[in-house]
Amino acid sequence: MITDKKLNAISIALGVLLTGYVAQDLHFNPRWYGDTGPGVGQMPREVVAGYMALAYGQGDAAQAAKLYYTPKTIDFTPDAVYRHGGAPLASTVRQVVAEGLNVAVHHCVQGGGPGAYELVDMFRTGNGRIVWRKTIAQPLDGQDCAGSALGRALDMGLAPKA
């Protein structure tokens, strides 16, 4: 029969062992060592912002992929038409949705290519890197980002009434 005193001692011992295991795992976890990428230690939203600044703002998609992707990153749209040419693209961000490790960016890009596009870039991050990326693009057929119907404010009746 286990007495209360023995049960308390066993509980304390198990708690100390569990705490020691977690502390040891966090301290010696190899993912913390040797990775000096620009997104390490940042929130997923900041990782994506850094990637987009380099890929779109500076027009260097190859360097952005080298810095922010893992060797196993899955990119469903690596050869999109708006990513060619290496010219910086003006990106008008319409909305950013970040939940957990996932980030979705709705934005409009123009310049350096065959016209403007409305995009939804979806990212999944992990350990300061982008591990999954997919882009949905809609050409604006001669319009610029300012004239896009998707950029206009839409009243959905959700604003608080005065």
Handedness of CA 40, 45, 48, 49 (dihedral sign): negative
Confidence band for 88, pLDDT divided at 50, 70 and 90: confident
Cβ neighbours of residue 111 under 8 Å, at least 6 residues apart? Answer: 87, 88, 89, 90
Under 8 Å between Cβ of 129 and 70: yes
For residue 74, the surrounding DSSP H or E stretch is strand 69-75
What is the mean pLDDT of the segment spanning 130-159? Answer: 81
pLDDT in tens, 94-122: 999 999 999 999 999 887 666 788 999 99
Residue 82 has pLDDT above 70, yes or no: no
Which burial class, exposed, middle or buried, applies to 13 when counting CB atoms under 10 A from its CB (0-12, 13-18, 19+)? exposed
Count of all residues that appear for the chain in the document: 162
- Residue 28 in this model has a pLDDT that exceeds 80: no
pLDDT at 153: 66
Q: Is 126 a residue whose pLDDT tops 80?
A: yes
pLDDT score recorded for residue 122: 96
Contact 67, 52 (CB under 8 A): no
Instruction: Please report, rounded to a whole number, the percentage of residues in the chain having pLDDT higher than 90.
Output: 40
| Of the candidates 24, 14, 15, 54, the residue with the CA atom closest to the CA atom of residue 37 | 54
- Tell me how far apart the alpha carbons of residues 68 and 74 are, in angstroms, rounded to a whole number: 12
The answer to whether residues 39 and 73 touch, using CB atoms and an 8 Å cutoff, is no
Phi-psi region of 124 (alpha: psi -120 to 50; beta: other; left: phi over 0): beta
